[in-house]
Amino acid sequence: MQTVPLQDVNRFRCNRHALTESLCVVTVAGEVDLDTAPTLEAILLAALAPKVSDVIVDLKGVTLLDSTGLSALVKAWQVASERGGTIRLTGAARCVQKVLSITALDQLMVMYDDVTAAVASCGQLSSGQQSASDVDGSLPPSYQALGDRPTTAA
């Protein structure tokens, strides 16, 4: 019988790249779950360095996003919101988009098809999309009830 490591580095990758003084891109690939979400959260919070207010999270390579991954995204959104910034999500596969939709995170964070579109939008959100500063840092009622854990309240 083969022993499987607690966190298989081949199933999860997360990197950050500063594009400007106030904008960072975090690229995520693989499974974001109980084992890997703490790494994602740490990288997202590190990406929100003192002068960074906007983070683009490229989810193109994400194959699984569970509640702990959603929590990491919400925590990053809260920090960005406090700074008047945003978390922009890009490249989410259909299965990830479905999770974001069910939990209403697609209403909380601006979503784009790719990183290029998200970068182009920086500083100019189109009408109908909210920046974190537009909602003054508050979470929707379904999130407030359980702190930062998303729910699917009916």
Q: The dihedral of CA 97, 99, 102, 107: what is its sign? A: negative
List the CATH number of the domain containing 42: 3.30.750.24
pTM of the model: 0.75
Give domain status of residue 72, yes or no.
Answer: yes
Give domain status of residue 4, yes or no.
Answer: no
Give the confidence band of 10 by pLDDT, cuts at 50, 70, 90: low
Give domain status of residue 70, yes or no.
Answer: yes
Q: Between residues 89 and 131, which one has the greater pLDDT?
A: 89
Q: What percent of the chain has pLDDT over 70?
A: 73
Q: The dihedral of CA 40, 46, 50, 54: what is its sign? A: negative
Give domain status of residue 6, yes or no.
Answer: no
Give domain status of residue 1, yes or no.
Answer: no
98-103 contacts at long range (C-beta below 8 A, 24 or more positions apart): 99/65, 99/70, 100/65, 100/70, 102/152, 103/70, 103/150, 103/151, 103/152
**Amino acid letter for position 152:** T
For residues 108-123, average pLDDT = 91
How many domains, in total, are found in the chain? 1
Give domain status of residue 38, yes or no.
Answer: yes
Domain residues for 139? 11-144
Across 20-24, 26-30, 129-133, least confident range: 129-133
d(CA 5, CA 101): 32
Give domain status of residue 111, yes or no.
Answer: yes
Residues with Cβ < 8 Å from 48, sequence gap 6 or more? 24, 55, 76, 79, 80, 83, 85
Give domain status of residue 2, yes or no.
Answer: no
